[in-house]
Amino acid sequence: MSQVNILSKVAVVTGAGSGIGRAVAVELAEAGWSVALAGRRAEPLAETARLAGAGALPVPADVARPAEVDALFAAVRDRFGRLDLLFNNAGGFGPRVPVEELAYEDWQAVVDTNLTGAFLCAQAAFRMMRAQDPRGGRIINNGSVSAHAPRPHSIAYTATKHAVTGLTKSLSLDGRAYGIACGQIDIGNAATDMTERMSTGALQADGRIAAEPVMDVADVARTVRHMASLPLEANVQFATVMATTMPYIGRG
In order along the chain (252 residues), what is the average pLDDT of each group of 10 residues? 60 97 98 97 97 95 98 98 98 94 98 98 98 98 93 95 98 98 95 72 82 91 98 97 88 56
Spatial distance between the Cα atoms of 38 and 31, rounded to a whole number of angstroms: 19
Does residue 16 sit in helix, strand or coil? coil
The per-residue pLDDT for 3 is: 45
The per-residue pLDDT for 208 is: 83
Spatial distance between the Cα atoms of 228 and 125, rounded to a whole number of angstroms: 15
Structural domains of the chain, with CATH: 10-242 (3.40.50.720)
The per-residue pLDDT for 182 is: 98
Q: Which residues are annotated as catalytic?
A: 157
Nearest to 161 by CA among 125, 128, 186: 186
Cβ atoms of residues 136 and 86 within 8 Å:
no
